[in-house]
Amino acid sequence: MAMLTVEDLKIYYATPFGHVKAVDGVSFEVREGEVFGIAGESGCGKSTLVHSLILRKPPMVHMGGKALFKGRDLMRLSKEESRKIRYTELSIIPQYAMNALNPTKKIKDIVWDLAREHGHTDREEVERLLRERLKMVKLSEKVADMYPVELSGGMRQRATMVVSTLLNPDLLIADEVTSALDVTTQRVVIELLHHFMREGIVKSIIFVTHDLALLDKIADRMMILYAGKVVEIGPTEEVINEPSHPYTQLLLSSLPRMGIQYRKQKLRGIPGYPISLLNPPKGCRFYTRCPYALDKCPSEEPKLVKVGEEHYAACHLLGGEDQ
């Protein structure tokens, strides 16, 4: 069952020089009970995409497409409706999770302020839940009575995760939550997210990262974005083991692998830089950096082609004119 169905979503940024097409016709779905990974280089639109689901603020503009969350189009909700479903049904752990909590408010006060605005009336109940969850993530329940400044960075990260998921949202967005962390803490975070899923605290997770190796560990299905477009989408294992799109292949080969020494297999970066999203080419957006670019690549846009069970990629090399 689909928790979230995004269809042909277009999110642009209004700038003095024109529209920056940060997300340009993206479609995917997130199913109940799965972790859906979104990967890509910085500036590929992954952050814009998830943020547009939570909160669209100028200069972000919705230019078309739908995002059906439990049957309601997130793009058409009124301000107040959208405010109400945030946190209770749709929540986010932000990139800046370590600094997300107001330093001068006790954590229980922050939580109560938020819960009250979402219709909760029993303060004790909310605090009891908070303490329980804090224990669950291996923090002392006394943390509830402390100020965020009194906690270490790692503790703040976990506290933020507890706060974000306290009201059992159906869909949780984890936006680059592991980017600023060391490897050990990364593992803790991933385990916690798994734990949240197992306990039924959250039903689905969208996990955004630029780190493909990490997705391998957490995501059931994944999507790769390049310059605001979907490049490849499919079950994580298939995408990682049998990448179909040249971009995915290059991304994967740029990852260091366990057991293979640098001397034996040189890491390859991807030459060149992503194109400007102010005025993207008509055809494939990757052709400027693609080692296999064809004559038609600059002018003709490749469509998503089925390459396996639920596995699609958008590249002219895979044929697909007939579709």
Partner 1 sequence: MGFRRYMVRKVVVYGITFVFAVTLNWLLPRLMPGNPIEAMVSRSGGAASSQLIKFYEEVYGLNQPMWKQFLNFWVNLFHGDLGYSMLYNAPVSSIIKHALPYDIAILLPAIVLSWLVGNWLGAIAGKNKKYDRYTMPLFYFLASMPYFWFAMILVYVVGVKLGWLPYSGAYAPDLVPSLSWTFIKSFLSHWILPFLSLFIVMIGSWAIGMRNMIIYELEADYVRYLEALGASEKLMTKHAYRNAILPQVTGLALQLGMMVAGAIATEIVFNYPGIGVLIMNAALNQDYFLLQGAFLIVVISVLAANFLIDIVYAFIDPRVRASYTEG
Mark residues 43-62: x for contact with partner 1 by CB under 8 A, - for none. -----------xx-------
As measured in angstroms, the least distance from the Cβ of 212 to partner 1 is 26
Residues 6 or more apart in contact with residue 122 via CB below 8 angstroms? none
| Residue 193 interacting with partner 1 (CB under 8 A) | no
Selected range binding partner 1 among 113-121, 136-144, 246-254, 299-307, rule: CB under 8 A: 113-121
As measured in angstroms, the least distance from the Cβ of 110 to partner 1 is 8
| Residue 92 interacting with partner 1 (CB under 8 A) | yes
Inter-axis angle of helices 107-117 and 123-136, to 10 degrees? 120
As measured in angstroms, the least distance from the Cβ of 90 to partner 1 is 9
| Residue 94 interacting with partner 1 (CB under 8 A) | yes
Residue selected from 6, 30, 39, 114 as contacting partner 1 according to rule CB under 8 A: 114
| Residue 112 interacting with partner 1 (CB under 8 A) | no
Residue selected from 28, 69, 87, 247 as contacting partner 1 according to rule CB under 8 A: 87
The answer to whether the peptide bond before residue 59 is cis (omega within 30 degrees of 0) is yes
| Residue 154 interacting with partner 1 (CB under 8 A) | no
As measured in angstroms, the least distance from the Cβ of 8 to partner 1 is 25
As measured in angstroms, the least distance from the Cβ of 104 to partner 1 is 6
How many Å apart are CA 118 and CA 106, to the nearest integer? 19
- Tokens 């490849």 correspond to what residue? 232
Residue type, 198: R
- Tokens 């640098």 correspond to what residue? 262
| Residue 103 interacting with partner 1 (CB under 8 A) | yes
Cβ distance to partner 1 smaller for residue 165 or 248: 165
Selected range binding partner 1 among 31-39, 158-166, 197-205, 246-254, rule: CB under 8 A: 158-166
- Tokens 């993530």 correspond to what residue? 137
175, 179, 194 from 210: Cα distances, Å: 10, 8, 19
| Residue 177 interacting with partner 1 (CB under 8 A) | no
Selected range binding partner 1 among 111-119, 192-200, 242-250, 270-278, rule: CB under 8 A: 111-119
Cβ distance to partner 1 smaller for residue 146 or 255: 146
| Residue 147 interacting with partner 1 (CB under 8 A) | yes
| Residue 76 interacting with partner 1 (CB under 8 A) | no
CB atoms within 10 A of CB 177: 27
Q: Which residues bind partner 1 (CB under 8 A)?
A: 54-55, 82-88, 91-92, 94, 96, 99-105, 113-114, 117-118, 147, 149-150, 160, 163-164
